[in-house]
Chain A
Amino acid sequence: MNEHTVTCGFLPLIDAAPLIIARELLFAQDEGINLQLIKQPSWSALRDLLALGQIDVAHMLSPMPIAMTLGQSGMPTNVDALMVLSVNGTVIGVSNDLARDMEKTGWSSDFESPAAAATALFASGRKTIRIGIPFPFSMHRMLLEHWLSVHPSFRSKRVEIITVPPPRMAQAVSNGTLDMFCVGEPWGTAAVQQGVASLILPGSSIWQFAPEKVLGATRDWIEQNPTLCNGLMRAIYRATQWLDDPGNKPLAVEILARSQHIDLPHEAIDPAISAQIVPCLGAKPVSPPHFLFFNNNAANFPWRSQAAWISERIAAWCGLDQDEATRRGKACFRSDLYRGNLSALGVDMPGASAKVEGALKNPLAVKSTKGQLILGPDAFFDGAIFDFDAED
């Protein structure tokens, strides 16, 4: 078979795992694809290279394709999400100072109660709480805003959101630039290991099913390369399936640590992959449910309703027309291509391409092409429900 090269930009984070596994375990090669992974120094750089056609596809924060399509990030470019690469996996951490002040209010962290943590946060005596995120158009910022803005003590001036590159999050907390952060692994664990912060919540405690990273490509590239697109999606799907098999976790950690792509040691990779998070120095590891997963519960399906949820937030930030933004944003999550390209692989597909976001507190079997598909819980901590079809 002739090999075709596909270049893929990525940032060195644990959740780039599906791309690395697709390459290293030869799932891509099986599809006749030479998957070249090209490390990027920032999300901005990755975005610009994709928009200018210097790379074919990219590991992206789930809001990025929509923000680019709506012309709000870099040069306006139609970019689609072909599939979701990972669900959840972020952590929220506070500086040692802030943790102490929160504890003075009688709070103690159980790593699973967002409402109580927000109460302690607003009662900690800080006029403004400075929170680090990795990029302005990120799920991190959306989760933080959802979490904090529903609290009765929330005022917009009490929170300042600042973008800090993940590898510098720990330093920014230790030098007092930040009071807290929301970041993807390994950078939360790194801050704990350096003794400068403790983790108070996993992102999954705010929303149980938050699409974190997606596989992005420009609409032009997708239209011009249907066969490569098909092979790439198949390869990455098989990599995510492999990653979510519990028996493969130790080997996955080993492969990720050995490959030069993310350049992180074993101990930085293991907590996220094994969902064994040490929230503060000396504490026992905890296993938050649904911490980070790549394939289970139709994780890869790009739900139009997820896109709608993201689009609404971007529209609110940027002062765009809500209906127009949601309509265009929904079209970026290519559930049509997902069905078309992965059905032949035997992937079970949900009957609908949109769901009521936040409706499931427990796993639920729904009608699917092969009979029944189990959807994972997707509730928000405050019980919020987003029914986009009802709004149409």
Chain B
Amino acid sequence: MDVALKILVVEPDATRAQDIIDALKEGGWGNVFVVSDVSALAPKLNEVDPDIVLIDLAHPDRDTLEHIGNVSSAQSRPVAMFVDRSDAELTHAAISAGVSAYVVDGLQKNRIKPVLETAIARFKMVERMRHELDAAKQALTDRKTIDRAKGLLMNARGVTEEEAYSLLRKTAMDQGRKVIDVAQALVTAADLLG
């Protein structure tokens, strides 16, 4: 238990933020704060005075966060991204999960590492869920396009649904394209021709 450690999570997505907070709380860190809006970042840093800031590696506001850490001398601000060169595995895990942690100068490594490990695990899970959701949405959109293309072929050529699909598949194979690309081209052409 490291309840004294103050952790600030910068995350615009409320669900995702809550997920990370929950994970940290389960891990025994009770002092977790969240900021979603970047314009509130500077006042929040002042108010919370965190030991660790967790932020998505790809978050566009990281440059702003770094500047605040660099320039301000008022308090013990998180000043540097935490990278442990002696523990390459941890660093690589953080990068592939997309987590960056900023820590105050002099904070002991053994206090940072478990926080980072928890965050990495949670980031990974959220990321996977997002990918799955995106993939599911894409599959649904593709299915609709292919259904429309099949319908167009059935009308135009008087073929069955099965024959229409075979035709799409054969065309795709002959041209070295994907079925969805051929279907999309057909739908676009039909829309253009009215």
Residue ranges of A at the interface with B (Cβ–Cβ < 8 Å): 41-45, 48-49, 52, 54, 72-75, 134-136, 161-165, 167-168, 175, 177
Contact = CB atoms under 8 A, between A and B. Distances in A.
A136 B67 contact: yes
13 contacts: A41-B60, A42-B58, A42-B61, A48-B81, A49-B95, A52-B92, A73-B66, A74-B81, A75-B80, A75-B81, A135-B66, A163-B63, A177-B39
B62 interface: yes
A54 B63 contact: no
Nearest to A74: B81
A303 B146 CA distance: 59
Nearest to A40: B58
A72 B62 CA distance: 16
Contact of B63 (A42, A49, A175): A42
B172 to A, nearest CB: 24
B145 interface: no
A44 B81 contact: yes
B57 interface: yes
A52 B60 contact: no
Nearest to A163: B67
Among B57, B61, B63: residue with most chain A CB under 10 A: B63
A73 B83 CA distance: 12
A40 to B, nearest CB: 8
A163 B66 contact: yes
Nearest to A172: B39
Nearest to B39: A177
B100 A164 contact: no
Nearest to B68: A163
Contacts of A161: 67, 71
Contact of A54 (B70, B81, B95): B95
Interface in B29-88: 39, 57-64, 66-68, 70-71, 80-81, 83, 85
B184 interface: no
B91 interface: yes
Among A43, A49, A165, A177: residue with most chain B CB under 10 A: A165
Contacts of A41: 58-60, 62
Contact of A48 (B39, B64, B85, B100): B100
A73 B61 CA distance: 16
Contacts of A73: 66
B85 A165 contact: no
A107 B48 CA distance: 43
Among B61, B67, B100: residue with most chain A CB under 10 A: B67
Nearest to B64: A163
Given A136-B71, A177-B39, A165 B63 contact: yes
B106 to A, nearest CB: 15
Nearest to B82: A75
